[in-house]
Amino acid sequence: MQVPLPPAASTEARNNASMSIDSLSALEIVQLMNQEDARVAAAVATESTAIAQAVDLIAQRFRTGGRLIYMGAGTSGRLGVLDASECPPTFSVKPGMVIGLIAGGKAALTSAIEGAEDRRDKGASDLQQLGLTANDVVMGIASSGRTPYVIGGLEYARSVSASTIGFACNAGSALIPLSDIMIAPIVGPEVVTGSTRLKAGTATKMVLNMLTTGAMVLIGKTYGNLMVDLTATNEKLKDRSQRIVSELTGLTASAAGELLGRCDGQVKTAIVAHQKQITPDEAREVLNHHSQHLRRALESLTSK
């Protein structure tokens, strides 16, 4: 069944400011795009309450073993896959905790798959293959607000009582009745008409950053603004781990490095082990008792 286009879809409207963009110089094009991009943060800010509700919901599901599953087509799908892929190295979570689905599958990450976004049935079947449960959260990302693949996915998610979040950059989105929480920053017409990889894509990236970062902070993946649950998979991250341990314990860089070595590179374990002068295994037990939340673990040590 064809999904009707919402009235006055702003992402498909022509932008008066860029009507003559093909006659501008390179500098003028850059300045014009920068002026239009400046509108994005303000549009996202109008959705702060809905975004915060989504952050709380996602964190709640994470605490009980649930997953966040993004789904979208084209740019929307790629951004979801990107955000999901960045969570394991940044926050040391298992790859299956945040998942990105894109219409057309992996091939669609680098190539346009003709008609993939129009497959409503694939939205449902892709979630079925993941074994979707009521403890999961599905976020449908569709700048237009009418992508059949996303609509099919949200319909299936609701059928199994999974929580749903909708994201669109148009008002009156078809995702609204399918979403427990709807996030809709209205960024207005694109510099190149209909090219939602521009302002709409930027808004999408901003919101996804907030959702996963906010939820990870709430479940204890940072200490202040320090990335204490990172996975040191390269020299840059190993150096960052060492600097964090050094800063929070007062140890020299070399001593922090030695401590991390004894703690299998685990930043939080190293900090708790040093502060309490206990073994790495004992430090892990303390952290597990406090749901891996470093601040709570350290506060429990100083209150005794």
Say which of 12, 28, 36, 86 is annotated catalytic: 86
Our answer to whether residue 155 is catalytic in this structure is: no
pLDDT the model gives residue 232: 79
**165, 187, 218: which is the final residue of a domain?**
218
Distance CA 26, CA 297 (A): 54
Q: Do residues 211 and 241 share a domain? A: no
C-alpha pair distances (Å), 48 with each of 98, 109, 222, 262, 266: 22, 29, 21, 42, 34
pLDDT the model gives residue 121: 92
pLDDT the model gives residue 89: 87
How many domains does the chain divide into?
2
Buried b / exposed e across 223-253, counting CB within 10 Å, b at 16+? beebbbbbbbeeeebeebbbebbbebbebee
pLDDT the model gives residue 12: 87
Range of the domain at 285: 235-302
Distance CA 64, CA 70 (A): 18
Q: Do residues 126 and 34 share a domain? A: yes
pTM of the complete model: 0.90
Q: Do residues 162 and 290 share a domain? A: no
Our answer to whether residue 114 is catalytic in this structure is: no
pLDDT the model gives residue 8: 55
Q: What is the DSSP string of 258-269?
A: HHHHHTTT-HHH
Spell out, as residue ranges, where the chain has pLDDT lower than 50: 1, 5-6
Say which of 36, 47, 117, 190 is annotated catalytic: 117
